[in-house]
Amino acid sequence: MTDPQTAIDAETTTSERDPRIHERTAGEPQKGIPFIGAGPGDPGLLTVTGKELVEAADLVVHAGSLVNSDLLEAYCADAEQVSSIGKDLEELVPLMCEAYEAGRSVVRLHSGDPAVYGAALEQMDALEHEGIPTYLVPGVTAAFAASASLRTQLTLNGVANHVAFTRPQGKTLDPADDHIGEFVGMGDVTTCIYLGTHAIEETMERLLEDGHDPETPVAVVYHASWPDEDVIEGTIATIGELVEAAGYRASALVIIGDAARKAGYERSYLYGDWTNRTATEGETGD
């Protein structure tokens, strides 16, 4: 078996586009190992295709505590279940490879959507290099569940025209690459911070030092869609202390911006007089 790093290097340096891009639609079951977004937690938020694939699996490699055990219990109690936590590529890739080559049905279950802070691609490239086809099945990312919990929209007419998915500086991100302050400074952006619960006080302090409005709304949704979901609402000035007091250090989504409090939005054109005109100015909405 090729060393996963060598496989990744080979896959990332090729300029050839994968012909499957034009042959398959997203969501269409395909040959190979599916990398499935399990959604934010509630088993009901797994897609229909994801559920069917998980139900048919012999081996489910999942993202440990980030995937709700109720989902595993409900859809694949009889399958072999392996947590990926604490396993490196050198262990995970042969595990999936050998099971697939032995004729077993293998699925890889990521939390939320694999395309958002998921590290799916490196596993897929290493498997592909071994001749094992893989594909993605999207899921509901945490920001969408958090926005539903807050009963708001991430884009909101007159409030936020843009959404940023970001994370604070941490083990894998250089301080120079931390753009949270820039997104917040743009004003009409809803900033969704993943992997940032432990650093919330520091992040807010940095925003205050940089002169951002202390009254800017911030909501923290812990375990969105899980039975113990919790919503903490505050501002740049107050949220750090509130989250610290609640004791959350992980598994929460931080949303910064007026959309978090659905403050001051305007009725959209979509359901106004404009609706009756033909759409000549591009896409509208739903």
Ligand X SMILES: C[S@@+](CC[C@H](N)C(=O)[O-])C[C@H]1O[C@@H](n2cnc3c(N)ncnc32)[C@H](O)[C@@H]1O
Closest CA to 139 of 64, 55, 36: 36
> Least distance (Å) from ligand X to the CB of residue 172?
11
Give whichever of 99 and 139 is closer to ligand X, judged by the CB atom. Answer: 139
> Least distance (Å) from ligand X to the CB of residue 92?
15
Give the chain's count of helices (H) and strands (E). Answer: 10, 10
**How far from each other are the two terminal CA atoms of the chain, in whole angstroms?**
48
Tally of CB atoms within 10 A around 240: 21
Closest CA to 41 of 174, 146, 167: 146
> Least distance (Å) from ligand X to the CB of residue 93?
19
Give whichever of 4 and 196 is closer to ligand X, judged by the CB atom. Answer: 196
> Least distance (Å) from ligand X to the CB of residue 224?
3
> Least distance (Å) from ligand X to the CB of residue 165?
8
> CA–CA separation, 56 vs 105, rounded Å?
7
Cβ atoms 140, 113 nearer than 8 A = yes
Binding site for ligand X (CB under 6 A): 40-41, 110-113, 116-118, 141-142, 145-146, 194-195, 221, 223-226, 250-253
> CA–CA separation, 109 vs 111, rounded Å?
7
Give whichever of 82 and 140 is closer to ligand X, judged by the CB atom. Answer: 140
CB within 8 Å of 280: residues ≥ 6 apart: none
> Least distance (Å) from ligand X to the CB of residue 78?
26
Give whichever of 142 and 236 is closer to ligand X, judged by the CB atom. Answer: 142
Give whichever of 117 and 265 is closer to ligand X, judged by the CB atom. Answer: 117
**Strands across the sheet containing 189-193:** 162-166, 189-193, 252-256, 217-222, 230-235
Strand 217-222, strand 252-256: pairing = antiparallel
Give whichever of 99 and 220 is closer to ligand X, judged by the CB atom. Answer: 220
The residue nearest ligand X at its CB is 112
